[in-house]
Structure 1
Amino acid sequence: MTNPRADRVKAVRALTGRSARRRSGTFLVEGPQAVREAVAPGGPRVHDLYLTADAAARYPEIVAAARETGVRLRTGTVEVLDAMSPDAQGVVAVVDQTHGDLADVLAAGPRLVAVLAHVRDPGNAGAVLRAADAAGADAVVVSAASVDVHNPKVVRSTAGSLFHLPVVTGPELADVVTALRAAGLAVLAADGSGTHDLDDLLDVAGAAPAGVPDLAAPTAWVFGNEAWGLRDEDVTLADAVVRVPLRGRAESLNLATAATVCLYASGRAQRGR
C-alpha cells in the first residue's frame, strides 16, 4: 500500500471516531505492544494487520502470531501507516470490539473486580484497566456514562491489558452493585472521605472483626470520576467507604494511582487464597 489517501486508509483512520467504531463494530489497535497482545492466540478477532516493511522486520513475533491465527497482513509505506495513525509506530490492527458479560464474570467466581463509575478521561480509564490486570483482578466493569473503552487513547493506555481480562461495559452502577453483592463480593467505594483506612484493613485482612471489611474476601472496588470522585448516591450503594492514607502533604491522589494502591492491597490480602 502506497497511497495515504486511499479509501482503505481513510476507513482505518476513521476508527479513531466513536461513530465509525459503532457502525463497524471494530476498533483501532496502535503500536507494537498492544498489537502483539491482540494477535496472540486466544485474543480477539483481528480483521487486518498493517505494518511498514521495517516494522515487519523489527517485530517478527507479531507477523508469526498473525500468520498462525490467520490474520490478513498488509504492508504499507511509512506515509500510509502515519495516515492511519500518528501513534502507530509502524504497526496498526483493526480488531473486533469485545464486551464482557457480567453474568459470565460472576459465574466464574471472581475474587477481585474493579468498577469504574463515570470515569471520563481515556488515559485514566486505560491506566486503571492496566493496573487491574497487573494486580490480578478477574474483571473490570465500566459503568454507563463512562468513556468508551475502545477509544484509541484508552486502548493505548492499557498497553495490551484490554485483551487479558473481561471488560464489561455499559451497565448502570446500581445494577452492577446489586449483582456483585448477590454473587458474594463485598463492594468497597474508594473515596478520600472514607471511614476505613486502607492500611488498617490490610493489618486485619483475613481476621477482620465484625463490621470491618475483610480485604482477603472477594471484593469489588468502585472508583469514581477523576474530577469529582464518587457521587453521594454512588457512595451509598457500597458496603463500606475506604480511604487511602495520605502521609505527606499531597491533597489527594489521582484516580489511576489510588485505584492501583487499592487493587494491589486486595491482591496482597488475597494472595494464596
Structure 2
Amino acid sequence: MTLANPRADRVKQVRALAGRSARSRHGQFLVEGPQSVREAVRHAASSVRDVYLTPAAAARYTEIVDDARAAGLYLHVGAPEVLESMSPDAQGVLAVVRSSAPSLAEALAARAPERAGRPLLVAVLATVRDPGNAGTVIRAADAAGADLVVLAGESVDVHNPKVVRSTAGSLFHLPVVTGLPLDAALTELRDTGCQVLAADGTGPLDLDELLDDAGSGTTPDLAGPTAWVFGNEAWGLPKADRDLADAVVRVPIRGRAESLNLATAATVCLYASSRAQR
C-alpha cells in the first residue's frame, strides 16, 4: 500500500526527527537521500528502523530495495508529497535509523579489520559547531582510512540532518564518539599509545617538515599512532586546548590564501598521516 496522506501522524513523527529534542526523545534520526540511505542499509542494517521511497525512487534505486528486503527491513512506498513532507532533502529516499552512542573504548575495540595491521589514526573535533564541516571531516576521515572520529566538547550533534547528509554515508563506515570533554578523550587516546597533534595555523612545526623527517626521531613521527585535533571554525584551538597536544602543527600555505577552512585542513593532515602510515 502506498502512503498517500502527507498530514498523517506517521509523516509528522518522521518530520519531527529533524529537531534535536525529538531525536533525543525517540533515540532515532533521519537519513536523507539515496547515497546515505544506501550506506545505512548496507553497513548498519541492524540500526535501520524504516526505509521510505517514492515509486520513482523505488524503481530507480533497486539496490536499496533489494538490500532492505534482504535485511528484513520495513520498506514503505510513499507518494512524492509524503516524502517531501517528511523531508525536503530526501530526494525520494529516506530512512529512520536508531541512534547509537559508542564509548571511546567500544569504538577502539570495533576497529575495522582492514586497519588492524596499521597504527591507529583518529580525528578529534574540538567544539566544532558547523554541521557541514563536521560531516565533511567524518567523510574525509573515512576516505583517509582513519579508525574513528571523536566530537569532543560542545560540538554539533552528529545526528543533525545536515551532518548526516554531509558525511555522504561515511557515518555508517566508522565509529563516531560524542559527549566527551576534550581532555578526557585525549587522555584515553594517549593511553592507547597515540601521539596527539593539534592542527593550528600558529603551530611551530610545518606539516611538510614532519613528512620529510619521518622516522628521524627529531620531530613527531606521522607513521606512528596519531590523534589529530581540529578546532572550532571561528576561533581555532584555544591555547588551553593546544597545550593538551604533544605538538602543534601548521599546514603550509604557499599561495596568497589567508588560511584553510577546517574541513580542508583536516583532510590534508589526515591524508599526510595516512600516507606515512602506509
TM, length-normalised to structure 2: 0.94
Shift of 1:213: 0.6
Aligned to 1:262: 269
CA distance, structure 2, for counterparts of residue 67 and residue 221 of structure 1: 40
Q: Aligned in 2, Cα 1:65/1:183: closer, same or farther, shift over 3 Å? A: same
**1:41 and 1:69 in contact (8 A); partners too:** no
Aligned to 1:209: 217
CA distance, structure 2, for counterparts of residue 58 and residue 216 of structure 1: 44
**2:17 and 2:29 in contact (8 A); partners too:** yes
What root-mean-square deviation, in Å, do the aligned CA atoms of Structure 1 and Structure 2 show? 1.1
Q: Aligned in 2, Cα 1:144/1:213: closer, same or farther, shift over 3 Å? A: same
Counterpart residue type for residue 83 of structure 1: S
1:137-178 residue CA offsets vs partner (Å, 9 max, x unmatched):
000001120000000000000000000001101100000111
1:103-135 residue CA offsets vs partner (Å, 9 max, x unmatched):
123445761000000000000000000000000
CA distance, structure 1, for counterparts of residue 137 and residue 191 of structure 2: 25
Equivalent of residue 124 in structure 2, options 115, 120, 126: 115
CA distance, structure 2, for counterparts of residue 185 and residue 41 of structure 1: 28
Shift of 1:45: 1.1
SS in 2 for 1:75: strand
CA distance, structure 2, for counterparts of residue 255 and residue 201 of structure 1: 20
CA distance, structure 2, for counterparts of residue 54 and residue 154 of structure 1: 26
CA distance, structure 2, for counterparts of residue 43 and residue 50 of structure 1: 14
Aligned to 1:249: 256
CA distance, structure 2, for counterparts of residue 44 and residue 228 of structure 1: 39
CA distance, structure 2, for counterparts of residue 106 and residue 30 of structure 1: 28
- Length, aligned pairs only: 269
Aligned to 1:190: 199
Counterpart residue type for residue 124 of structure 1: N
Aligned to 1:234: 241
CA distance, structure 2, for counterparts of residue 223 and residue 160 of structure 1: 22
Q: Aligned in 2, Cα 1:41/1:269: closer, same or farther, shift over 3 Å? A: closer
Shift of 1:44: 4.6
CA distance, structure 2, for counterparts of residue 123 and residue 94 of structure 1: 20
Equivalent of residue 95 in structure 1, options 97, 100, 103: 97
Counterpart residue type for residue 160 of structure 2: N
Counterpart residue type for residue 7 of structure 1: D
**1:44 and 1:98 in contact (8 A); partners too:** no
Does 2:136 match 1:127? yes
Shift of 1:204: 1.6
Counterpart residue type for residue 97 of structure 2: V
Shift of 1:209: 2.2
CA distance, structure 2, for counterparts of residue 215 and residue 251 of structure 1: 26
**2:211 and 2:272 in contact (8 A); partners too:** yes
**2:43 and 2:172 in contact (8 A); partners too:** no
The unaligned stretches of length 5 or more in structure 2 are none
**1:106 and 1:180 in contact (8 A); partners too:** no
Aligned to 1:20: 22
The unaligned stretches of length 5 or more in structure 1 are none
SS in 2 for 1:150: coil
CA distance, structure 1, for counterparts of residue 45 and residue 124 of structure 2: 23
- The share of aligned pairs that are identical, in percent, is 70
Aligned to 2:84: 82
Aligned to 1:2: 4
Does 2:225 match 1:223? no
